[in-house]
Protein backbone atom coordinates (compact mmCIF):
# COMPACT_ATOMS: atom_id res chain seq x y z
CA UNK A 1 0.00 0.00 0.00
CA UNK A 2 1.50 3.31 -1.03
CA UNK A 3 1.55 6.06 1.55
CA UNK A 4 0.25 9.47 0.64
CA UNK A 5 2.94 11.98 1.49
CA UNK A 6 1.37 15.07 -0.03
CA UNK A 7 -2.26 15.78 -0.87
CA UNK A 8 -3.53 18.72 -2.88
CA UNK A 9 -7.25 19.30 -2.58
CA UNK A 10 -9.16 21.62 -4.94
CA UNK A 11 -6.36 24.14 -5.20
CA UNK A 12 -7.25 27.46 -6.83
CA UNK A 13 -4.63 30.17 -7.28
CA UNK A 14 -4.61 33.44 -9.17
CA UNK A 15 -1.70 35.85 -9.53
CA UNK A 16 -2.55 39.43 -8.69
CA UNK A 17 -3.68 41.42 -11.70
CA UNK A 18 -4.27 38.34 -13.86
CA UNK A 19 -7.73 37.47 -15.09
CA UNK A 20 -7.21 33.73 -15.42
CA UNK A 21 -6.58 31.30 -12.58
CA UNK A 22 -2.99 30.01 -12.70
CA UNK A 23 -4.26 26.89 -10.95
CA UNK A 24 -7.88 25.93 -11.29
CA UNK A 25 -9.30 23.28 -8.96
CA UNK A 26 -6.25 21.03 -8.92
CA UNK A 27 -6.28 17.88 -6.78
CA UNK A 28 -3.78 15.04 -6.66
CA UNK A 29 -1.64 12.99 -4.27
CA UNK A 30 2.08 12.41 -4.16
CA UNK A 31 3.20 9.04 -2.85
CA UNK A 32 6.09 8.43 -0.53
CA UNK A 33 9.28 7.47 -2.34
CA UNK A 34 8.05 8.04 -5.89
CA UNK A 35 9.54 10.06 -8.73
CA UNK A 36 6.71 12.21 -9.99
CA UNK A 37 7.20 14.14 -13.22
CA UNK A 38 4.99 17.17 -13.78
CA UNK A 39 4.86 18.24 -17.43
CA UNK A 40 2.92 20.93 -19.27
CA UNK A 41 3.35 23.83 -21.67
CA UNK A 42 4.89 27.16 -20.57
CA UNK A 43 2.28 28.85 -18.41
CA UNK A 44 0.36 25.66 -17.63
CA UNK A 45 0.78 26.12 -13.89
CA UNK A 46 3.66 23.71 -13.21
CA UNK A 47 5.97 26.15 -11.49
CA UNK A 48 3.09 27.73 -9.57
CA UNK A 49 2.43 24.27 -8.16
CA UNK A 50 6.01 24.08 -6.94
CA UNK A 51 5.73 27.49 -5.27
CA UNK A 52 2.57 26.45 -3.46
CA UNK A 53 4.07 23.16 -2.28
CA UNK A 54 6.93 25.02 -0.67
CA UNK A 55 4.74 27.77 0.78
CA UNK A 56 6.27 30.50 -1.38
CA UNK A 57 2.71 31.30 -2.41
CA UNK A 58 -0.57 30.36 -0.75
CA UNK A 59 -3.69 29.10 -2.50
CA UNK A 60 -6.82 31.28 -2.75
CA UNK A 61 -8.82 28.21 -1.86
CA UNK A 62 -8.20 24.53 -1.33
CA UNK A 63 -5.74 22.78 0.98
CA UNK A 64 -2.33 21.13 0.87
CA UNK A 65 -1.33 18.57 3.47
CA UNK A 66 2.20 17.30 3.79
CA UNK A 67 2.79 14.28 6.00
CA UNK A 68 -0.65 14.83 7.57
CA UNK A 69 0.23 18.41 8.41
CA UNK A 70 -1.89 21.17 6.89
CA UNK A 71 0.27 23.72 5.06
CA UNK A 72 -0.53 27.18 6.49
CA UNK A 73 1.38 30.39 7.07
CA UNK A 74 2.06 29.07 10.58
CA UNK A 75 3.29 25.61 9.57
CA UNK A 76 5.28 26.77 6.55
CA UNK A 77 8.61 26.78 8.38
CA UNK A 78 8.16 23.17 9.47
CA UNK A 79 7.10 22.20 6.00
CA UNK A 80 10.07 23.88 4.35
CA UNK A 81 12.39 21.67 6.37
CA UNK A 82 10.78 18.69 4.70
CA UNK A 83 10.91 20.04 1.17
CA UNK A 84 14.02 21.12 -0.69
CA UNK A 85 13.86 22.99 -3.96
CA UNK A 86 16.34 23.21 -6.80
CA UNK A 87 15.60 26.01 -9.25
CA UNK A 88 16.25 26.46 -12.94
CA UNK A 89 19.13 28.88 -13.03
CA UNK A 90 22.30 27.58 -11.37
CA UNK A 91 23.66 31.12 -11.07
CA UNK A 92 20.71 32.38 -9.06
CA UNK A 93 20.99 30.06 -6.10
CA UNK A 94 24.37 30.74 -4.57
CA UNK A 95 24.83 32.66 -1.36
CA UNK A 96 28.17 31.34 -0.08
CA UNK A 97 31.58 32.38 -1.38
CA UNK A 98 32.85 28.80 -1.34
CA UNK A 99 31.11 25.54 -2.12
CA UNK A 100 31.10 24.40 1.51
CA UNK A 101 29.87 27.75 2.84
CA UNK A 102 27.05 27.60 0.39
CA UNK A 103 25.96 24.15 1.48
CA UNK A 104 26.26 25.22 5.13
CA UNK A 105 24.02 28.24 4.66
CA UNK A 106 20.73 26.38 5.08
CA UNK A 107 22.06 24.54 8.12
CA UNK A 108 23.12 27.78 9.77
CA UNK A 109 19.62 29.11 9.24
CA UNK A 110 18.21 25.96 10.80
CA UNK A 111 20.42 26.46 13.87
CA UNK A 112 22.41 23.25 13.52
CA UNK A 113 25.52 22.93 15.73
CA UNK A 114 28.96 23.43 14.19
CA UNK A 115 29.98 19.79 14.59
CA UNK A 116 26.83 18.39 12.98
CA UNK A 117 27.10 21.05 10.30
CA UNK A 118 30.59 20.00 9.20
CA UNK A 119 29.49 16.38 9.10
CA UNK A 120 26.39 17.12 7.06
CA UNK A 121 28.12 19.47 4.64
CA UNK A 122 30.82 16.92 3.90
CA UNK A 123 28.29 14.10 3.73
CA UNK A 124 26.07 16.01 1.32
CA UNK A 125 28.96 17.01 -0.94
CA UNK A 126 30.17 13.41 -0.94
CA UNK A 127 26.79 12.25 -2.08
CA UNK A 128 26.73 14.60 -5.06
CA UNK A 129 30.42 13.82 -5.76
CA UNK A 130 31.52 17.41 -5.22
CA UNK A 131 33.70 16.79 -2.16
CA UNK A 132 36.82 17.69 -4.14
CA UNK A 133 35.50 21.24 -4.55
CA UNK A 134 34.95 22.25 -0.90
CA UNK A 135 36.83 25.54 -1.07
CA UNK A 136 36.21 26.46 -4.70
CA UNK A 137 34.21 29.51 -5.62
CA UNK A 138 30.81 28.39 -6.94
CA UNK A 139 30.90 30.63 -10.01
CA UNK A 140 33.93 28.77 -11.37
CA UNK A 141 31.99 25.51 -11.61
CA UNK A 142 30.18 24.14 -14.66
CA UNK A 143 26.38 24.34 -14.76
CA UNK A 144 25.99 20.68 -13.83
CA UNK A 145 28.42 21.03 -10.93
CA UNK A 146 26.59 24.14 -9.69
CA UNK A 147 23.28 22.31 -9.69
CA UNK A 148 24.87 19.41 -7.81
CA UNK A 149 26.11 21.85 -5.16
CA UNK A 150 22.58 23.28 -4.98
CA UNK A 151 21.30 19.73 -4.46
CA UNK A 152 23.89 19.19 -1.71
CA UNK A 153 22.57 22.33 0.00
CA UNK A 154 19.12 20.82 -0.15
CA UNK A 155 19.97 17.32 1.08
CA UNK A 156 22.14 18.62 3.92
CA UNK A 157 18.82 19.65 5.45
CA UNK A 158 17.63 16.03 5.14
CA UNK A 159 14.33 16.72 3.42
CA UNK A 160 11.68 14.09 2.64
CA UNK A 161 10.94 15.66 -0.71
CA UNK A 162 13.08 17.29 -3.40
CA UNK A 163 11.40 19.48 -5.98
CA UNK A 164 13.34 20.03 -9.20
CA UNK A 165 11.86 23.08 -10.91
CA UNK A 166 13.25 22.70 -14.44
CA UNK A 167 16.57 22.19 -12.71
CA UNK A 168 18.27 20.74 -15.79
CA UNK A 169 16.87 23.01 -18.49
CA UNK A 170 19.87 25.37 -18.59
CA UNK A 171 22.46 22.61 -18.60
CA UNK A 172 24.25 20.95 -21.49
CA UNK A 173 23.50 17.24 -22.09
CA UNK A 174 26.38 16.09 -19.94
CA UNK A 175 25.41 18.37 -17.04
CA UNK A 176 21.80 17.24 -17.32
CA UNK A 177 22.75 13.58 -17.06
CA UNK A 178 25.08 14.31 -14.08
CA UNK A 179 22.28 15.98 -12.17
CA UNK A 180 19.62 13.39 -12.93
CA UNK A 181 21.98 10.54 -12.06
CA UNK A 182 22.79 12.24 -8.75
CA UNK A 183 19.12 12.62 -7.87
CA UNK A 184 18.36 9.03 -8.88
CA UNK A 185 21.08 7.75 -6.55
CA UNK A 186 19.83 9.93 -3.68
CA UNK A 187 16.31 8.70 -4.18
CA UNK A 188 17.48 5.08 -4.07
CA UNK A 189 19.68 5.42 -1.01
CA UNK A 190 17.60 7.77 1.10
CA UNK A 191 14.06 7.02 -0.05
CA UNK A 192 13.56 10.62 -0.99
CA UNK A 193 10.43 11.57 -2.90
CA UNK A 194 11.23 13.48 -6.08
CA UNK A 195 8.92 15.91 -7.82
CA UNK A 196 10.40 16.95 -11.14
CA UNK A 197 8.88 19.78 -13.11
CA UNK A 198 10.27 19.36 -16.58
CA UNK A 199 10.02 19.84 -20.34
CA UNK A 200 12.32 16.89 -20.89
CA UNK A 201 10.03 14.10 -22.02
CA UNK A 202 12.84 11.54 -22.05
CA UNK A 203 13.38 12.25 -18.36
CA UNK A 204 9.65 12.09 -17.66
CA UNK A 205 9.50 8.68 -19.37
CA UNK A 206 11.74 7.35 -16.60
CA UNK A 207 9.53 8.66 -13.78
CA UNK A 208 7.28 6.41 -11.69
CA UNK A 209 4.28 8.57 -12.40
CA UNK A 210 3.41 11.62 -14.46
CA UNK A 211 1.03 14.52 -14.19
CA UNK A 212 0.12 16.56 -17.25
CA UNK A 213 -0.93 20.15 -16.61
CA UNK A 214 -2.82 22.21 -19.17
CA UNK A 215 -3.95 25.81 -18.72
CA UNK A 216 -3.95 25.61 -14.96
CA UNK A 217 -5.82 22.33 -14.77
CA UNK A 218 -4.73 18.79 -14.15
CA UNK A 219 -5.19 17.25 -17.57
CA UNK A 220 -4.19 13.66 -16.86
CA UNK A 221 -2.24 11.58 -14.35
CA UNK A 222 -0.84 8.11 -14.79
CA UNK A 223 2.21 6.00 -15.52
CA UNK A 224 4.51 7.18 -18.33
CA UNK A 225 3.05 4.25 -20.34
CA UNK A 226 -0.49 5.61 -19.93
CA UNK A 227 0.50 9.20 -20.60
CA UNK A 228 2.57 8.62 -23.72
CA UNK A 229 -0.25 6.56 -25.22
CA UNK A 230 -1.98 9.91 -25.64
CA UNK A 231 0.52 10.65 -28.44
CA UNK A 232 -1.14 13.24 -30.72
CA UNK A 233 -3.10 14.63 -27.77
CA UNK A 234 0.16 15.50 -26.01
CA UNK A 235 1.51 17.22 -29.10
CA UNK A 236 -1.72 19.25 -29.32
CA UNK A 237 -1.04 20.35 -25.72
CA UNK A 238 2.33 21.77 -26.81
CA UNK A 239 4.27 18.79 -25.50
CA UNK A 240 6.13 16.01 -27.23
CA UNK A 241 6.55 12.25 -27.02
CA UNK A 242 9.74 10.27 -26.39
CA UNK A 243 11.91 9.39 -29.37
CA UNK A 244 11.27 5.64 -29.10
CA UNK A 245 7.49 6.18 -29.25
CA UNK A 246 7.87 8.39 -32.34
CA UNK A 247 10.13 5.90 -34.06
CA UNK A 248 7.75 3.02 -33.22
CA UNK A 249 4.94 4.87 -34.96
CA UNK A 250 7.08 5.65 -37.99
CA UNK A 251 8.21 2.01 -38.24
CA UNK A 252 4.61 0.80 -38.05
CA UNK A 253 3.76 3.20 -40.89
CA UNK A 254 6.48 1.50 -42.94
CA UNK A 255 4.99 -1.91 -42.18
CA UNK A 256 7.59 -3.01 -39.59
CA UNK A 257 5.63 -4.96 -36.98
CA UNK A 258 6.98 -3.55 -33.73
CA UNK A 259 4.59 -3.45 -30.79
CA UNK A 260 3.42 -0.25 -29.06
CA UNK A 261 4.53 1.08 -25.72
CA UNK A 262 8.33 1.17 -25.93
CA UNK A 263 9.35 4.05 -23.71
CA UNK A 264 13.07 3.41 -23.94
CA UNK A 265 15.34 2.90 -26.91
CA UNK A 266 16.67 -0.32 -25.39
CA UNK A 267 13.21 -1.92 -25.42
CA UNK A 268 12.66 -0.94 -29.04
CA UNK A 269 16.09 -2.26 -30.09
CA UNK A 270 15.28 -5.56 -28.36
CA UNK A 271 11.93 -5.81 -30.11
CA UNK A 272 13.57 -5.13 -33.49
CA UNK A 273 16.25 -7.76 -32.85
CA UNK A 274 13.62 -10.36 -32.07
CA UNK A 275 11.73 -9.48 -35.23
CA UNK A 276 14.96 -9.63 -37.20
CA UNK A 277 15.86 -13.07 -35.93
CA UNK A 278 12.47 -14.36 -37.08
CA UNK A 279 12.99 -13.12 -40.62
Partner 1 sequence: MRITLDDVEYRYQVNTPFEHLALHDVNISMEPGTYTAIIGHTGSGKSTLLQHLNALLKPTKGRVFIGDRTIEAGRKEKALRPIRQKVGIVFQFPEHQLFDETVEKDICFGPMNFGVSEIDAKKMARKAIAQVGLNEEVLEKSPFDLSGGQMRRVAIAGVLAMEPEVLVLDEPTAGLDPRGRKEIMDMFYDLHKARGISTILVTHSMEDAAKYADDIIIMHKGTVFKKGTPQEIFSEPEQLMELGLDVPDTVRFQLKLQKELGVRFDHPCLNIGDLAIEIDKAMKRGNR
Asked if residues 82 and 160 have their Cβ atoms less than 8 Å apart, the reply is: yes
Q: Going along the chain, which residue ranges are E strands? A: 4-13, 23-31, 35-40, 61-66, 69-70, 83-86, 161-165, 193-197, 209-214, 217-222
Residue among 7, 14, 18, 5 at smallest CA distance from 59: 14
In this complex, which beta carbon is closest to partner 1, that of residue 83 or of residue 239? 239
Asked if residues 239 and 79 have their Cβ atoms less than 8 Å apart, the reply is: no
In this complex, which beta carbon is closest to partner 1, that of residue 192 or of residue 213? 213
Instruction: State in angstroms the smallest separation of the CB of 219 from partner 1.
Output: 14
Alpha helices in 110-172 (DSSP H): 114-127, 143-155
- The C-alpha R_g of the chain, in whole angstroms, comes to 20
In this complex, which beta carbon is closest to partner 1, that of residue 4 or of residue 41? 41
Angle between helices 265-278 and 243-253 (to 10 degrees): 30
- For the beta carbon of residue 175, count every other beta carbon within 10 angstroms: 19
In this complex, which beta carbon is closest to partner 1, that of residue 46 or of residue 82? 46
Instruction: State in angstroms the smallest separation of the CB of 9 from partner 1.
Output: 27
User: In terms of C-beta density within 10 A (0-12 exposed, 13-18 middle, 19 or more buried), how is residue 48 classed?
Assistant: buried
**Half-sphere CA count of 151, side-chain side, radius 13 A:** 31
Set 137, 166, 181, 232: catalytic member: 166
Q: What residues line the site for partner 1 (CB under 8 A)?
A: 40-43, 88, 142-143, 166, 169-170, 172-175, 199, 201, 235, 238-240, 243-244, 246-247, 250-251, 253-256, 265-266, 268-270, 272-273, 275-277, 279
Annotation marks residue 73 as catalytic: no
CA distances from 4 to 8, 114, 225 (A): 11, 35, 22
194 sits in which H/E element: strand 193-197
Asked if residues 198 and 164 have their Cβ atoms less than 8 Å apart, the reply is: yes
In this complex, which beta carbon is closest to partner 1, that of residue 154 or of residue 241? 241
In this complex, which beta carbon is closest to partner 1, that of residue 115 or of residue 277? 277
Instruction: State in angstroms the smallest separation of the CB of 262 from partner 1.
Output: 11
Q: Which residues are catalytic?
A: 166
Amino acid sequence: MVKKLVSLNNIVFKYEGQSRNALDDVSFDIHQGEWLAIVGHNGSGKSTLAKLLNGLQFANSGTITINDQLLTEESVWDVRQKIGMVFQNPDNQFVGTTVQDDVAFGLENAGVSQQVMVERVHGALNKVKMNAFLNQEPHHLSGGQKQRVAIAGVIALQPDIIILDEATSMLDPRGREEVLETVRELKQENEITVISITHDLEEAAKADRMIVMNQGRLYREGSPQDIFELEEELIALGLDIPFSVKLTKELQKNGVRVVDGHLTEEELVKDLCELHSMM
